[in-house]
């Protein structure tokens, strides 16, 4: 609701509404035939409509330079329409029984921006990509076996016995001569019932994790591997397969 103090200073100096004989006063005449309850409801509708008008006007007002005309209320039953400058429009409301008031609502809607969601098509794998993905586990397995063969001191720290280290290196050498693939790689990692074989596989898991974490990048760039990006891209998947051999079936599914 706009208050009188919001008007410009020069407009505050005009005469007050109490000095104007035509200020709107809503009063029920003593001889009116309108029942008190109906008169009260009509009066409430009128003031509700007035409040909505003032709220609508307040949305467009600037505190320093108000826009005219606007309506403000001095007292419960005194209303004034301000036209700007030194003009004041005075109106007298006749008996409210002449009018049929209806409740009105003011609503301002804001447009909601539309979001366009991109539809991603399922990516297909080319023949070359599928071939490269098969070579990645083979190359990593071959590199880990070579790393274990060159670092027998590390193997001894894990196995604790030189005889076991010799058998472990001999076992890895025999596996390296086979056509390496993801199934052979998985067999070197998973647990088994044979105690000695299970200890060898546990040792190979530990060495594999050390290699992938610390030495895989240098191996990729210093070897004869051409697809450097593919091996780096799937390095994390290989590491997941080493830690969980049961799920090590295909690097794209890890």
62 shares its domain with 21:
yes
CA–CA gap between residue 214 and residue 35 (Å, rounded): 94
CA–CA gap between residue 58 and residue 46 (Å, rounded): 18
Confidence check: pLDDT of 7 > 60:
no
This prediction has a pTM of: 0.48
**3-state helix, strand and coil shares in percent for the chain, rounded to the nearest 5:** 55, 5, 40
89 beta partners = 81
143 shares its domain with 205:
yes
Mean pLDDT, all residues of the chain? 72
Query: Tens of pLDDT along 90-131?
Result: 444 444 444 454 555 555 566 666 766 666 655 554 554 555
Confidence check: pLDDT of 54 > 90:
no
* DSSP character at residue 31: T
> Which 3 state secondary structure label does DSSP give 175?
helix
131 shares its domain with 246:
yes
Is 168 contained in some domain?
yes
The range of the structural domain enclosing residue 21 comes to 4-98
Q: Which tokens in the block code for residue 77?
A: 């039953």
Query: Tens of pLDDT along 206-246?
Result: 999 999 999 988 888 888 777 778 888 888 888 988 998 88
132 shares its domain with 241:
yes
Q: How many domains are contained in the chain?
A: 2
Is 106 contained in some domain?
no
pLDDT of residue 166: 95
158 shares its domain with 88:
no
- pLDDT average, residue stretch 47-70: 62
157 shares its domain with 85:
no
Contacts of residues 217-222 at CB distance under 8 Å and 24 or more positions apart, as own/partner, are 219/143, 219/147
Terminal CA-CA length for the chain: 65
43 shares its domain with 160:
no
| Residue 62 parent element (H or E) | none
pLDDT of residue 181: 87
Query: Tens of pLDDT along 139-186?
Result: 899 999 999 999 999 999 999 999 999 999 999 999 998 888 888 999
């Amino acid at each position: 609701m706009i208050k009188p103090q919001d008007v410009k200073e020069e407009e505050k100096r005009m005469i007050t509404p109490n000095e104007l004989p035509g200020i709107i006063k809503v009063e029920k005449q003593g001889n009116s035939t309108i029942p008190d309850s109906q008169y009260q409801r009509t009066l409430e509708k009128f003031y509700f409509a007035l409040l909505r008008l003032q709220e609508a006007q307040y949305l467009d007002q600037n505190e320093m330079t108000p826009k005219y005309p606007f309506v403000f209320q001095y007292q419960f039953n005194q209303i004034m329409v301000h036209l700007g400058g030194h003009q004041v429009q005075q109106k007298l409301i006749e008996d409210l029984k002449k009018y049929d008031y209806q409740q009105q609502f003011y609503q301002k809607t804001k447009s909601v921006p539309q979001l366009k969601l991109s539809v991603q098509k399922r990516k297909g794998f080319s023949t070359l990509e599928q071939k490269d993905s098969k070579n990645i586990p083979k190359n990593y397995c071959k590199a880990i076996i070579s790393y274990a063969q060159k670092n027998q001191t590390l193997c001894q720290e894990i196995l604790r016995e030189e005889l076991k280290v010799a058998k472990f290196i001999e076992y890895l050498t025999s596996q390296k001569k086979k056509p390496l693939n993801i199934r052979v790689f998985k067999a070197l990692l998973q647990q088994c019932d044979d105690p000695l074989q299970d200890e060898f596989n546990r040792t190979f898991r530990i060495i594999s994790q050390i290699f992938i974490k610390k030495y895989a990048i240098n191996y990729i760039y210093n070897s004869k591997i051409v697809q450097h990006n593919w091996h780096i891209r799937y390095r994390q998947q290989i590491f997941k397969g080493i830690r969980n051999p049961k799920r090590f079936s295909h690097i794209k599914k890890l």
